[in-house]
Structure 1
């Protein structure tokens, strides 16, 4: 009975914090399942902690989750070295635009060391002071400041230069869906920037290009071929909204599986197209 009561007490203090902890873990790892696993591991540790000694449960648990994520990132990097084709983070589908960490920024974070990534996210995204960051990643505040500065320099290009009006972004996404599925290459071509690129993550589980298509010509050639398949086999729009902070949509493709498409848009033109086809990374959308 005491064990049951202890679990109830632990859950009562932990559950309200779970969404925020998952948010931290996902932005560290780029994987919904891994983020949830890290948070569940933190809960198990929380149950075994003398909680009467913890003055700030949220700070304590954020530290625990961050350290668990740092451990996971070491093995995740080795796995990504053998990943088939481009690696993209799991798609998070939102009704509203999430501005703190967009998909291009998450890809930029992949190029950072685990400690740089943690320092940048905790300070620049979640607003923690360097004293708290230092306690969390077990480095002194000056070192944390340097880690965040280095990270900021690396990810600066991934930050949007101009804020895209939400309605305009969704309008472009809807127009892109219509043109790409109907085969209207004139309309589709008018939406693309000269240096547009397509990144498709199939993870070796579904057909997808193993290298990005780079430049207007390659992207148009790819979509001409895809339009033939879309017309022949169909592509059903399931949801339009924001995917990892970018305008996009969810479709059900001819094989019955879901697919997400997210569009990076600058100055009214699509500069990058991110397509998630890996079924392992789409499970949570079902």
Structure 2
């Protein structure tokens, strides 16, 4: 080794393991919220998203950072590939799921609502629309429409050519547009509807409930086979209003922020019993999503950060 190399500290050898881990950890932590959001939007499950992040970290820790030009893009690529693999497993699991499957609700910070695109992308209504896409379509749609990745970046993440990704993106965009709410409803409007809905439920005012819900409203209840829930969608204003009218008088309703929008938490004896989110079209409630499966309510008592991150070169 030359005297110059010795003085500069450049031995031509890889950096010490501890230094590598520290650098890798710093980069990973800086992008963690973004990576969680990518995985969650692809999977609709916070628990599975956390597992994907663990797998992402294990792979990232083995990467020579000196060879990575864009840390963000590289991490998103690892996360996407892991999420795609997990998504295919989840699809098989959902085939044997008892009753309707709903995304795992997240308690989100109020400032999420300020990013309209992010709030819309993590809303329960949108996540259910994304469930109707194939795994690759879902990945392409999320990465392009929500996180604004370039087609060549997405192509590397999903193992397709940029031309194929463009076609997939076009197809997924049209599919989602045909199924998403016709208009973007502001959090303030959603909160107003929910507050009126809450009063109607608490007072047992069946007529007020009927006035608020669309004739073809759909109620989905996710009990996961462990708690009482309808095993099929409840369709129609009269049937849905009757179900809502049977909510236990001892249940307390609290408005909170779930998946970027106001939602209701129903508590029984102080314990979270149900998280209820809504879809609104034309000023009426067209969808009600009641998550009761205890396994999906474990995170609802603490805030989860979702983020689109900031694009910065490695």
TM-score above 0.5, yes or no: yes
Q: Report the TM-score when normalising by structure 1.
A: 0.92
In the aligned structure 2, how far is the partner of 1:32 from the partner of 1:25?
A: 8
Who is 1:268 aligned against?
283
Counterpart selection for 1:219 from 231, 234, 240 = 240
Higher RCO (CA 8 Å, separation ≥ 6 residues): 2
**Mean alpha-carbon deviation: is it higher for 99-108 or for 136-145?**
99-108
Q: 2:6 maps to what in 1?
A: none
1:112 aligns with 2:128: no
Match of 2:52 in 1: 38
Deviation digits for residues 239-275 of structure 1 (CA, Å, limit 9, x no counterpart):
x234334431112125833421111111211111101
Distance 1:260 1:101 in 2: 15
| Separation in structure 1 between the aligned mates of residue 44 and residue 214 of structure 2, nearest angstrom | 27
The answer for the alignment partner of 2:70 in structure 1 is 56
> Any conservation in 1 of the 2:103–2:128 contact (CA below 8 Å)?
yes
Q: Who is 2:13 aligned against?
A: none
Any idea what SS the aligned residue of 2:120 has? coil
Measured in 1, the distance between the counterparts of 2:281 and 2:132 equals 22
Partner Cα separation in structure 2 for residue 207 and residue 254 of structure 1: 17
Q: Give the unaligned 5+ runs of structure 2.
A: 1-15, 114-118, 302-314
Distance of 1:93 and 1:249 partners within structure 2:
11
Measure how far apart 1:17 and its partner are: 0.4
Q: CA RMSD in A?
A: 1.8
Residues 44 and 122 (structure 1 numbering): CA distance in 2 closer, same or farther, change over 3 Å? same
Residue 128 of structure 2 aligns to a residue whose secondary structure is helix
Task: Name the CA distance, whole Å, in 2 between partners of 1:237 and 1:7.
Answer: 46
Aligned residue-pair number: 280
Q: 2:98 aligns with which of 84, 88, 102?
A: 84
Alignment of 1:121 onto 2:137: no
Deviation at 1:224, TM superposition (A): 2.7
For structure 1, which runs of at least 5 residues remain unmatched after alignment? none
